[in-house]
Amino acid sequence: MSVEPSIKSPPGRRTVWTAVGIVVCVAGVAAWIGYAAAWDPPRAWRALLINFIFFTPLAAGMVVWPALLTVARAVWVGPVRRTALAGIAFAPVSIAAFVLLWCGREHWAAWLHEENLPNAAWLSDSFLFGRDAVALVGFWVLAVVYAARADRLRTKTLPAILVLAYALVFSLLGFDLVMALDPHWFSTLFGGYFFMTGMYAAVAAWTLAALLSRPMPDADRRHDLGKLVVAFSLLATYLMFSQLLVIWYEQLPAEVRFIIPRLTQPPWKWVSAVLLGTIYLGPLVILLTVRAKRSPGFLGAVMLVLLVSLWVERWWLVTPTLGGDLVWGPPELSITASFAAALVLGMAWAGGRPASQEVARP
């Protein structure tokens, strides 16, 4: 028998880090409000959108991973499952951020300012945000139910429903909040790419959180988590390549408008080259050996670089479409720090609660 790991530290140190996290979160939100209200609204609202589409699929995906592995009959996940389920604590932040995006849609929803759109009915203000709100809240309610019952489930029905809900909801959010930024560009593959890269970020965050837990997962579990990361690096590469291949092979003018600014115009073409090495092909090469996947320090460093790169990839998806520059300053970093602090604080609280004992893999 083994107890699932949780992030533990001496009470005094834990109190200090909690206070630091709260200060970072509050200060970041206060700074963002200043930029959104007066100092630089376009950059501030764009930063909120990008952090929402990075942190929400990540936190939701962490809850989905144990469900997915349950459906796949993976027996090794027990000792690290509680760490993944701690992502459920981000649900209130995710919903609050979406409501804020809804209220400030005039600042970032580019399609609202276009006329005579061929898909105007689909992009109707009330219909788009209404369906996304129902989908997002519905997913989080389902995730809360699953997280509460995960330790005592005897069937795979609820986990399977949660996995399907994640795929559908985050495909919809990818279409509505990212692809719709350019209402003249469309890709049937983009929804799949968006939710799969969300799961990719989730397994990277799960691995990093597990490595920071006490007690740390053993070498076999680290190896298993590393293999998942490698598998999703291949899957993300395949989905992005498939999207670009279809555009090139079929000579689709409606979709070329996505490629041109990102692959041919500086500075975004240099960002694309970096992402190729850090998100798509890099993890496959760097984590190819068993030793690399079992080393806590090396694996943790790779996960940290991967998470930062996936955060940059969300900027790469959104900013060229909205006509923004490749610049990161207080408008961007303040709200990013707030989201990160909220996620860490929530996971520390949820992961620190008592968990039931589970049988570990021999």
In tens, the pLDDT along 311-348 reads 999 999 999 988 878 888 888 999 999 999 999 999 98
pLDDT band at 361 (very low <50, low <70, confident <90, very high): very low
Please say whether the beta carbons of 203 and 302 come within 8 A.
Answer: no
Express each pLDDT in 37-72 by its tens digit.
889 999 999 999 999 999 999 999 999 999 999 999
Report pTM: 0.90
Express each pLDDT in 144-199 by its tens digit.
999 998 888 888 899 999 999 999 999 999 999 999 998 888 888 899 999 999 99
Mean pLDDT of the chain: 87
Question: d(Cα 225, Cα 299) in Å, to the nearest integer?
Answer: 10
| pLDDT attached to residue 352 | 55
- Residues in the chain, overall count: 362
| pLDDT attached to residue 30 | 94
Q: Is the peptide bond before 267 cis (omega within 30 degrees of 0)?
A: yes
Question: d(Cα 349, Cα 331) in Å, to the nearest integer?
Answer: 28
CB within 8 Å of 186: residues ≥ 6 apart: 179, 254, 255
